[in-house]
Chains A and B, each alone.
Chain A
Amino acid sequence: MTPIAGGAALSLAFGFSVLTVVSLILYTRSGDQRLFWVGQRLSLAISFFVFMATFILTYQLMISNFDIDYVARYTSLETPTMYKISALWAGQSGSLLFWLFILSIFATITVIQNQNKHHGLMPWVIITLAVTQMFFLVLTNFVTNPFMPTDADFVVANGNGLNPLLQNVTMAIHPPTLYLGYVGFSVPFAFAFSALMNKDTSSLWIQSIRRWTLVAWLFLSMGIILGGWWAYQELGWGGYWAWDPVENASFMPWLTATAFVHSIIIQEKKDMLRVWNMVLIILTFTLCIFGTFLTRSGVMSSVHSFTASSLGPIFLSFVFVIMIVSFGLMYLRKDDLRSPRKMESFTSRESGFLFNNMVFVVMCFAVFWGTLFPVFSEAVRGTKITVGPPFFNQINIPIGLILLALTGIGPLLAWRKTSKESLIRNFTFPIMGGLIGAAIFLFLGYKGYVVISFSLCVFVTATILTEFARGVKARTNKFNESIVLALGRMVSKNRSRYGGYIVHLGIVLMFVGFTGHAFDKEKEFSLMVGESDHVAGYEFELTNMSEAERANHYAWISELRVTDHLGQFVTHLKPEKRVYFHKNPDVNRRQPHSELDIYSTMNKDIYSIFSAVDNENGIAFIKIMVNPLVRWVWIGGYILVFGTMIAMWPRKDS
């Protein structure tokens, strides 16, 4: 009975989404305020039914109702409750419902928050959000319904269970975080589209979406970082980023969104880049939908799976519709979008921002091309040519370093134009810092990109310190405040500016971590108890090997004693080889999995993988990787989150 209610809720939500669009279009034509209120309420009703459907499916997952196909496919009786809940976004139909669920939360907040604001914009904002909801409701109602009954005429005693790789706390958090980012950009896009419809070229709507954009950007960034963390902790290949299509799917909108976050500052302050900002937000939203398409359609495995998939063409059509309608509307409004002001100088902050934007978009295009090249090559030549990490690294490392340099240059440029004296005064300390850093790194024997990257990190850090120092000095001179008080008040009164600098510091630390990748070392070997081997100056001795049967898996546990080149004890590592669903009589359904153990310090990580076990001879096959500076990537991530939260924290006067 309850599953029927879930399906009915989704159907009602679809019907209400159609009515929302109809009532609000009628309102825009008639001006009858009652129709606007009806439209607002219909929008809330869509969300209400989506919430109902989501809660019903979650409840069915928790009580293991295997009469529902989705529940039987992604959970089993042994699945821990937390992972039964996270199974909501483990499969296709559930994750689409989850997308819709988050979109409905955002739509509800937008409608309630703007009940008495943006009267001119709100009808089209709600229409845009309702059309997006309608698209996902079409998918969840007619293409891949999460409430479909199990495809069998017998009672399913136990479900398939959740993939062991997904039975991880990070993986329970990572998809919702990423989705909050993807979906979050629907709201700025809706405002931008509405501004186009209303020919509203004022910066008022830009102000309104700034916080939404930052919230979505924060979640997208967190989602990407958590994805990297999960890959590093769980997948066992020793890295956090592999330029995998699914990773790229989240990285592309992040790039355009980052460009947008910067360029809206120019529109806010200088009323410039109106067209560019429209392009960026349309691209970001389209790439969010496209990212979901890449992840969910199976297009990346083969072009044939794309044509065979019922989901792919629908997604792709929606992407094309968004682009054609949005860019078509932009073309019609081209006269209204023309900014009254022009760039005055190459050495201005405006041009710095614009240049940084261009580089972000070029990088996005490079990632897009590399990601879809296998699809294009198969479609055109019939042969699938896969583009791997070497291509992405070759293109994106130099672009990334240019962006890092611009992170340092931008804040030092003045608005409109920077005088020669200012250029010398502002750049002296950071450039000296970067050059001294480069000399030291060259002296230490580093070369190539490593020296460039580390020197740029010093340069950008020096820029950030300079900016804080100049701000504090200005306040202490003007208000006679102590340094601590001046620092606190300066950040508090200029949250977006100094929060942004803190984000830049986080990015610098992440670059330190990325650069450490150049020094990675790895070795695979087999050991019996009492034997040892060496990697990167460390000795690894297998001291014990044991077995354990746990609730949902069987494990072989190796114990490695790690000592350094002086023979000093460093740590014990206990990587495991596991077999999930080990009680399943069907051997093919049992899933092997390597549970890693990592010894992490600020300087380096020692990463151990129990690749395989030879039970008969008592041999453990071990892979060890020594990865320098990885922890700085995660520290940088924390600082990025902290900085973004400062930047978006509401001001007292708002």
Chain B
Amino acid sequence: MEFIRDYGLILIFFILPVIFVIQPLFLPRIEEEDHILDRGALKRKKLILYRQIKELEMEFDIGNINEDDFHASRTELKQEVSSVIAQLNSK
């Protein structure tokens, strides 16, 4: 009885994780769809670019960047956002 109590616990703690781990192997084979993955990355990229535009505006307001650089960088970032949005819309 004591043996079952002691070693039974170990078996439970071993068998349950094993079932948890191997369960996906009983699913049908799935190839990951690239466009789903890309979409997540593009959304994050869009968010980062929006942030960068805001930060650039802040830098300009403070005076940490001159007007020419500000306009050039802002245009560059906006073009990048547009391209990301276009890619998102095409997926």
Q: Determine which of A1, A49, A415, A419 lies in contact with B59 in the assembled complex, contact meaning CB atoms within 8 Å.
A: A415
Interface residues of B, count at CB 8 A: 38
Write the A1-13 contact mask toward B (1 if CB under 8 angstroms, else 0): 1001100110010
Q: Are A31 and B44 in contact (CB under 8 A)?
A: no
Cβ of A372 under 8 Å from chain B: no
| Cβ contacts B34-53/A at 8 Å (1 or 0 each) | 00010011001101101110
Check if A73 is an interface residue, CB within 8 A of chain B: no
Residue of A nearest to B17 (CB): A45
The answer to whether residues A34 and B64 also contact, given A120-B37, A494-B55 and a CB cut-off of 8 A, is no
CA distance A4 to B13 in the complex (A): 13
The majority secondary structure among interface residues of chain B is helix
Across the interface, which residues of A come within 8 angstroms of B59, CB to CB? 414-415
B90 within 8 A of A: no
In the complex, chain B residues whose CB is within 8 Å of the CB of A119: 32, 37, 40
**Which segment, of A36-44, A255-263, A390-398, faces chain B?**
A36-44
Verify B55–A269 contact, CB threshold 8 A: yes
Cα of A414 to Cα of B68 in the assembled complex, Å: 13
Which residues of A are found within 8 Å of B51, using beta-carbon distances?
653
- Look across to chain B and name the residue whose beta carbon is closest to the beta carbon of A19: B21
- Quick one: given A32-B29, A33-B32, A204-B44, are A45 and B20 in contact (CB under 8 Å)? yes
Q: How many A-B residue pairs have CB under 8 A?
A: 102
Q: Judging by beta carbons under 8 Å apart, are A1 and B25 in contact?
A: no
Residues of A within 8 A of B54 (CB): 493
Interface 9-residue window, one of A470-478, A548-556, A605-613 = A470-478
Query: Which chain B residues border A497 with CB–CB below 8 Å?
Result: 55
Q: Do residues B61 and A204 form an inter-chain contact, with CB atoms below 8 A?
A: no
Q: What residues of B have a CB within 8 angstroms of the CB of A419 in the complex?
A: 66
Contact with B along A497-538 (1 / 0, CB 8 A): 100000000000000000000000000000000000000000
New contact pairs (6) apart from A203-B48, A471-B58, CB-CB < 8 Å: A42-B21, A269-B52, A415-B65, A467-B62, A474-B61, A478-B61
Supply 21 A–B pairs (Cβ within 8 Å), ascending by A. A5-B10, A8-B10, A9-B13, A12-B17, A16-B21, A31-B32, A32-B29, A34-B25, A118-B41, A204-B41, A204-B44, A204-B48, A269-B52, A415-B64, A416-B65, A422-B63, A470-B63, A475-B61, A477-B61, A653-B47, A653-B50
B residues with CB within 8 A of A: 6, 9-10, 13-14, 17, 20-25, 27, 29-32, 37, 40-41, 44-45, 47-48, 50-52, 54-55, 58-59, 61-66, 69
